[in-house]
Amino acid sequence: MRTQVGIVGAGPAGLVLARLLHRAGIDAVVLERRSRSYVESRVRAGVLEHGTAQLLDELGVGQRMRREGMEHRGIELRFGGAGHRIDLAALTGKTITVYGQQEVVKDLIAARLADDLPLHFEAEVTGVDGTVLEYRQNGVRHRLECDFVAGCDGSHGVARMALPDGALRTAERVHPYAWLGILARSPAAAEELVYAYHERGFALHSMRTPDITRLYLQVPPGTELADWPDARIWDELRTRLDLPLQEGEILERGVTAMRSFAVEPMRHDKLFLAGDAAHIVPPTGAKGMNLAVADVRVLAEALAAHYRDHTDELLDSYSATCLRRVWQVQRFSNWMTTMLHRHDGDDEFGHRVQLAELEYVTRSTAAATTLAENYVGLPR
């Protein structure tokens, strides 16, 4: 087989890229090693920046998001026993939309299949030889020849691993805490997302639907789920969030390590990396999926210029263009993480400094605007 762009991975990055390329008249084949049911049920982030939601509308896949998603005009920071609202809409004129990543993926998959475009599940890429993708599906080996390859297959995917030693520079930070997260059949206890700084550690109240909540607790790395029975989880959430939580069935639970990671450049010859294949950010700022979408918007425009205008200027600047945003998002995500988490070994001085930082952010219009501008999404 042959195509213009081979896309490895059917997550948000790969599927949005495929949609953008289709609208530009560029052929693409998407290869995903997992099954469709697995990809569509994989629970991930659920906060869409203003620009991400707008793009889904432009791509013709935003109808269900607008119908079922929840538009939020602000977020709340809780500390010192009180809540402090950051009015995103008033400060920036923009909002965020709470809509699960797996729902975005479902919408994009449905649209691609409805257009009868190539999307292969359980197609495991086993080799990347220049612009040739070798993959196995149903026990049969295939070769896909491409003009370009887009590696959108995550931080442990084959695309980045296929690059020669020394092709990339990496920067990484492992954070000294983890998140214990649950998905619960419980009505939301607040109308907007609540980020809580507490002397016992960070907590987050989010939601997926009005009746399904996503809740997180700061825990030490290496925490075992067996040490956290349901009663302990709910008690700790109530203590840290200070919200009238209604206990419900816990549908999913897990412990997530927190790290920051980036590679440079995000391109090697005709292979381009996007999304988690190129960078990981702490989840505190809700930026992972949004950053992946920002990458592929740049890549799609660059590929369109190559085929339409026969110029590679945008392809040549792809990495530098993306990395400017990547490092701004890394800065914001690390700032949010540091400000809101309790640090092991912190004395009373460190604790009071964090409280002062939070008070400044919530009392200063300039500081609140900085948070709001980053949270709703930096301009392109």
Q: What is the CATH number of the domain that holds 129?
A: 3.50.50.60
Domain count, the chain: 1
- 232 within some domain: no
Q: What are phi and psi of 229, to 5 degrees?
A: -65, 165
Stretch 44-66: mean pLDDT, rounded? Answer: 95
Going by pLDDT thresholds of 50, 70 and 90, the confidence category of residue 280 is: very high
**Selected catalytic residue, list 50, 72, 106, 205:** 72
- 196 within some domain: no
The reported pLDDT for the residue numbered 347 is 82
The mean pLDDT value of the chain amounts to: 96
- 88 within some domain: no
Model confidence pLDDT, tens digit, residues 174-207: 999 999 999 999 999 999 999 999 999 999 999 9
Q: What is the pTM of this model?
A: 0.95
Give the pair of three-digit tokens for residue 87.
């009015």
- 161 within some domain: yes
Model confidence pLDDT, tens digit, residues 206-248: 998 889 999 999 999 999 999 999 999 999 999 999 999 999 9
- 304 within some domain: yes
The reported pLDDT for the residue numbered 68 is 95
- 197 within some domain: no
Going by pLDDT thresholds of 50, 70 and 90, the confidence category of residue 45 is: confident
Going by pLDDT thresholds of 50, 70 and 90, the confidence category of residue 348 is: confident
Model confidence pLDDT, tens digit, residues 114-157: 999 999 999 999 999 999 999 999 999 999 999 999 999 999 99
**Selected catalytic residue, list 287, 306, 318, 341:** 287
- 79 within some domain: no
**Selected catalytic residue, list 99, 135, 318, 375:** 375
**Selected catalytic residue, list 99, 177, 195, 318:** 195
The reported pLDDT for the residue numbered 209 is 87
Whether 287 is a known active-site residue: answer yes
Cα–Cα–Cα angle for 144, 7, 298, nearest 5°? 140
Distance CA 262, CA 279 (A): 4
- 66 within some domain: yes
Residue 7 belongs to domain spanning: 2-72+95-172+260-343
**Selected catalytic residue, list 197, 268, 283, 341:** 283
- Contact in structure between 69 and 98 (CB atoms under 8 Å): yes
